[in-house]
Amino acid sequence: MNALTIEEIKQYLAKNAIKPSIQRVRIFQFLKDNPIHPTADEIYHQLSDELITLSKTTVYNTVHLLAEKGIIQPIHIEGTEVRYDADFSQHAHFKCLNCGNVHDLRISIDAAHFPELKKYTLKDVQLLLTGICPECKPKTIN
C-alpha cells in the first residue's frame, strides 16, 4: 500500500468499518506517506494548518481507532511515548540518540536466525535498537 489516492484510502477505511472523514483520511495518508513514526502531537502539528478544524482530541481518537482496527500499530519507543506506524512488514526500529529520529530496519526475526524461537509462536515482534544514525555519526565523537 504505497502512495494511495484519497479515494483508495476512503475505500480502505470503509472496508475496515471506519467512517472515512477527511480528518481520518488525512491522518492515515500522513502515516502511510511519512514513515517517520510520529506521535499523535506530531501528527496534529503537521496537519493542523491544512485542516483548520482538526483538534488534538480528533487526532488521538483517530490513531486509537486506526490501531484498534489493526490498520496502524502503536510503537512504544521510550517510557510512555507512543508513536504510530502504518508499515506492518517485519522490521525493527532504530532510534538515534543524537537527533531522536526513528528509522526502519529491514531484518528477519525467525527461528532460522534465533533457534530458541522454535518452541514459541510469534504474534508480534517489536525490536528497538538505539545508537547513532549515519546522518549524525560524522557530527559525533565516538
- Averages of pLDDT over each 10 residues, the chain, 142 residues: 84 97 97 93 97 96 97 88 89 90 84 80 82 87 60
Strands 73-78 and 81-85, by their bridges, are: antiparallel
77 Cβ contact list (under 8 Å, min separation 6)? 37, 83, 93, 95, 102, 128
Class of domain 6-85 (CATH, top level): mainly alpha
| pTM reported for the whole predicted model | 0.83
Rg (CA), the chain: 17
Give, as one character, the DSSP assignment of residue 4: -
Cell triple for 12 = 480502505
In the prediction, which pLDDT does 78 show?
79
Give the domain ranges of the chain: 6-85, 92-139
What's the CA angle centered on 75, arms 43 and 96, to 5 degrees? 85
In the prediction, which pLDDT does 1 show?
46
Class of domain 92-139 (CATH, top level): alpha beta
In the prediction, which pLDDT does 142 show?
57
